[in-house]
Each structure stands twice: as structure tokens, then as C-alpha cells.
Amino acid sequence: MSQMTEATRTLIAPDAATMAIADAAIESIGLHDEGIAVADPATGETIGHVPNRSVQTALEFVGRAETAGQAWAKTSARGRADVLHAWHELLIRHREQIAHLISREMGKTLAEAAGEVKYGSDFVRWYAEEAVRPAGDYREAPDGGASILTRRAPVGLAVLITPWNFPLAMATRKIAPALAAGCPVVVKPATLTPLTTYYAVKLAVEAGVPEGLIQVVTTADSAAFSGAVLRDPRVRKVSFTGSTPVGRQLLELASKNVLRSSMELGGNAPLIVFDDADMERALEGTLAAKLRNGGQSCIGANRIYVQDGIADEFGAELARRFAQVPVGAGLGAGSVLGPLIDDRAVRQMESLTRNAVDMGAELLTGGYSYDGPGHFFAPTVLDRVVANADVVREEIFGPIAAIQRFSTEDEAVSQANDTEFGLAGYVFSENLDRALNVADRLETGIVGINQGVPSNAAAPFGGVKQSGLGREGGAEGIEEYQSIRFYNIARR
């Protein structure tokens, strides 16, 4: 049963001074008080509005981006890099405002929002650096009859559709490589958290990104937007981060004009703890992989597999730590777990917990939501969860740790791979051979070994199976916005 007392169920309230910093940042974007309302998930309060663009306006924006893109494609690599470096500098200079803004509109704690500003800005710096890397090569035909020059050209106008969970990083992870490659973009942020994108794009223009090159479209009718824009012949590329069902719909639309497509979709990450793991590392790694971003991360640990010999100790200690996590507004002093994005998410956590317990799981801590404004759910640990419980089959997207037990390595691997998703996985073991062997056998694009936060701007983030297509970050990320051509030069 839950070990929480009524006293520990008090939520930390947002701090007025920190909210004022966020509100000043929102004010500075210069949007009007009409259109789509944006709410603070910690308080339910409306904090701003963004325009509700029609399909016709979205298509006009496509035209503007395309026009601006013609000059941009001809800008030197160094010229593009300089602009991206200047944007990076402005993001860092405004890091405090951006972190407050992210926390206010998305709910994550200020410390995590500051982490996102760093992570999100890193992509801009990384692609400023990648912009000037060689974009082609020279080779000889094996029979000596030709010289072959390969070159990479910008793929063209890219439509970027981002989710609400990392409002800055999901935008910069797409915009920065697109710009570095020489492409114009139309970016459609999630209507739940569009303000950060507007703020970051405003800074991009101040940094010297040509007017028109980045178009932001917010709309209450996403399906109408993608239905029209992805069929427009001026569009050459779509990059989407979001759920797998929406990704499938977009791939269908993209097939009409055979658009280059990158899809960063849902996950159902397994996290495996072997009995030779360093217990402290495994607990801290699990806490981070599970509770980071309130559990609302596509690479969040979804299924936790613990080897029999240590499972009792691990479960009890994880529950003890979860029960001590201070819950409250992201902008409240000392909050470690913020609200979920909306009330639907809270109802989903209740339903997942109920289903798991009905199917025999033991509730070690949490399992409840909070009354009053805001969308809060307690840090929750379930032990002895059965493999066909909803919490195991579905992407949780909330602060529930669902523990299953295993005895052998083969069993752990086959359970871990028993999902249509393949984004991230985690392995905890002090035996490097074992950790690497298991990592090799996991059907995922990303593996965290003895750590719970594997993302890095230098790494090629992305999934296999139904978690998606393409990679973001690293040298690979810019290739998503380039097309490879070759010139065959006859030799005598």
C-alpha cells in the first residue's frame, strides 16, 4: 500500500517572482490576446494566446519560407554557421527567461527546464559547427574511366512538426540542422506549448536568420494543416516528433509527393537491472530515466526488469526514494516532480495504476492524483506487474515505475524486445561484457549503459521498429536535410 501520509500530499505552490519572469518573457514575444489559449499545467491559468492559422495562411507561409530559402541555399556554409552561432549566443544569453517560460507553459521544474535550454541550445551550436564540415567527396571509378564528385545539396523546404514535451529542444533539434543544410522551414509546434518556439524563433531573427526563413504556424486543426501543406509541391521534407499513430498518418500523406521523411515516434523503453549492478547507480539511473520530465519523455523507462536476487531490495528502495520526491509547480521552490501536461494524462495514470493492481501488481507507493488546480499525479512504484498489463504494453508518459522480475539474461532480453517500439533501452550491470552483450541484443536505437539520461547533441538520436525513421543530432542529423548528388566526369 501507499506509504504516503496526508501531510506529504501537499503540493509546492508556484513562486510569484519566478512566474513574473516567465510572464515577462511571454509578453516580450508580442502576441495578441486572441486565438488559441495556452494554459499553465500547474495552475490551469491561461498564460497567453497564439494565432489560430487557417490552411490558407499556412500555405502563404510556405510561399514566404520558400522565397527566403532561395537566397539562403546560396549563402556560404560559413555564413550559415555564423548566424547559427549568433542564435546560440542569444539563446544562452536569454537562458533564464527561456527556462522560466518552458516551466510555465509545459510544467517541468525550473532545474529541468534549465537543462533543456542547455540541451536545446547545444543543437544550435552543434549544427553551426556541422554546417562547415565537408559536404561531399571525390572518388575514382574502379575502371579508371571516370572521376566522381559527390555533393550534398539542401533538400528544400522542410515542414517540422514538434510535440509539447520538450518545447525548445524538439524545435532546435530540427530547425538547426535544416538551416545548417541550407533549407527554409515551416515549424508547427504543439498547441499545448507553442510559446517557447515563438520566443526562440524571435531570437533567431534577432541573431540574423533572414526574415521569412523560419515560419511558425500554430493551428487548432493539425490534420487540416498537414493535409494541405504536405501535399503542396513546394514542400520537400517532413520531420515529425510525436506519437506513432500520428506518424503513420503523416507518412501516408508524405507518400503523395514522396517527401523525404524523418519520424521520431513513441517509445516503450525497457530498463534492465542485473544482480551485479551497482545498486546506487541503478537506483539513481532509474529515478532519472523514469521521473525526468515528469515521466513525459519518449525515452523514459517504461518497463523496469529487475533480476530476482535483488528485486525486493531494489523495489523497496526505489519506492522509498519516490515517496520522498517533492511534488509541485515547476516554478515552485524545491519541486522535483511537476504537473502532467493535462487532465487527460492524470486520468490515464489512474487508469494504468488501477489496471495493473487489478491484474495483481503490488502498489509500493503513490497511485493517486491531487485535488485542486493543476494536473498532478504522485510518483508511483508498482512491483510484480504482469507482462500483459496496460502499463507494460502502452507508453506510460507519466511518473509510474512498473517493475517486473526476471531470472536469466535471455529472459530479460526477450521480454525487453517484446514490443513494437524500439527507441531506447537501459542496462545496469558492473560486468561490461554482459552490459555490452545485452545492449547489442536490444532492438532499440539508443541504449543507456549504467546511466538514465543518454541524450546528447553529438549523438544520432532515433529509433527502430515503430519508433521511427531517421536520426536527429550528431553528424547524421544534417544528412536528413541534404540530398546526395554526383557528377560523373569522363576521363580519357
CA atoms of 279 and 270, how far apart (whole Å): 18
CA atoms of 204 and 214, how far apart (whole Å): 9
Least distance in Å: CB of 111 to ligand NAD? 20
Q: Which is nearer to ligand NAD, 239 or 286 (CB)?
A: 239
Q: Which three cell numbers stand for residue 104?
A: 510555465
Least distance in Å: CB of 224 to ligand NAD? 8
CA atoms of 252 and 272, how far apart (whole Å): 35
Q: Which three cell numbers stand for residue 491?
A: 576521363
- Does 445 participate in binding ligand NAD (rule CB under 6 A)? no
Is 472 among the catalytic positions? no
Per-position x/- string for 85-114, each x denoting binding to ligand NAD as judged by CB under 6 A, each - no binding? ------------------------------
214, 204 in Cβ contact below 8 A?
yes
Catalytic option among 105, 116, 264, 472: 264
CA atoms of 268 and 415, how far apart (whole Å): 12
Q: Under rule CB under 6 A, how many of the chain's residues touch ligand NAD?
A: 26
- Does 395 participate in binding ligand NAD (rule CB under 6 A)? yes
Q: Which of residues 116-145 bind ligand NAD (CB under 6 A)?
A: none
Rule CB under 6 A: choose which of 43, 97, 121, 165 binds ligand NAD. Answer: 165
- Does 161 participate in binding ligand NAD (rule CB under 6 A)? yes
Least distance in Å: CB of 16 to ligand NAD? 30
Q: Which three cell numbers stand for residue 435?
A: 552490459
Q: Which of residues 408-437 bind ligand NAD (CB under 6 A)?
A: 423
Q: Which of residues 218-257 bind ligand NAD (CB under 6 A)?
A: 222-223, 225-226, 241-243, 246, 249
The one segment of 150-158, 196-204, 260-268, 436-444 that binds ligand NAD by CB under 6 A: 260-268
Least distance in Å: CB of 73 to ligand NAD? 26
Q: Which of residues 183-202 bind ligand NAD (CB under 6 A)?
A: 188, 190-191
- Does 168 participate in binding ligand NAD (rule CB under 6 A)? no
CA atoms of 40 and 286, how far apart (whole Å): 28
Select from 171, 52, 123, 235 the least CA-distant residue to 474: 123
Least distance in Å: CB of 55 to ligand NAD? 12
Least distance in Å: CB of 221 to ligand NAD? 9
- Does 265 participate in binding ligand NAD (rule CB under 6 A)? yes
The one segment of 127-135, 264-272, 371-379, 430-438 that binds ligand NAD by CB under 6 A: 264-272
Select from 314, 157, 165, 140 the least CA-distant residue to 236: 157
Rule CB under 6 A: choose which of 164, 322, 426, 428 binds ligand NAD. Answer: 164
Pairing of strands 157-161, 235-241: parallel
Q: Which is nearer to ligand NAD, 264 or 383 (CB)?
A: 264
Q: Which is nearer to ligand NAD, 242 or 294 (CB)?
A: 242
Q: Which three cell numbers stand for residue 99?
A: 527556462
Tell me the residue number closest to ligand NAD, measured at CB: 242
Q: Which three cell numbers stand for residue 283?
A: 537506483
Q: Which of residues 460-489 bind ligand NAD (CB under 6 A)?
A: 463, 468
Least distance in Å: CB of 54 to ligand NAD? 15
Rule CB under 6 A: choose which of 298, 382, 401, 413 binds ligand NAD. Answer: 298
CA atoms of 302 and 395, how far apart (whole Å): 7
- Does 264 participate in binding ligand NAD (rule CB under 6 A)? yes
| Packing angle, helices 169-181 and 110-130, rounded to 10 | 10
Select from 453, 416, 69 the least CA-distant residue to 271: 416
Between the CA of residue 204 and those of 51, 187, 346, 422, what are the distances in Å?
20, 13, 35, 34
Least distance in Å: CB of 406 to ligand NAD? 25
356, 402 in Cβ contact below 8 A?
yes
Least distance in Å: CB of 466 to ligand NAD? 11
387, 421 in Cβ contact below 8 A?
no
Q: Which is nearer to ligand NAD, 207 or 229 (CB)?
A: 229
Q: Could you list the residues that contact ligand NAD (CB under 6 A)?
A: 161-165, 188, 190-191, 222-223, 225-226, 241-243, 246, 249, 264-267, 298, 395, 423, 463, 468
- Residues annotated catalytic, as ranges: 264
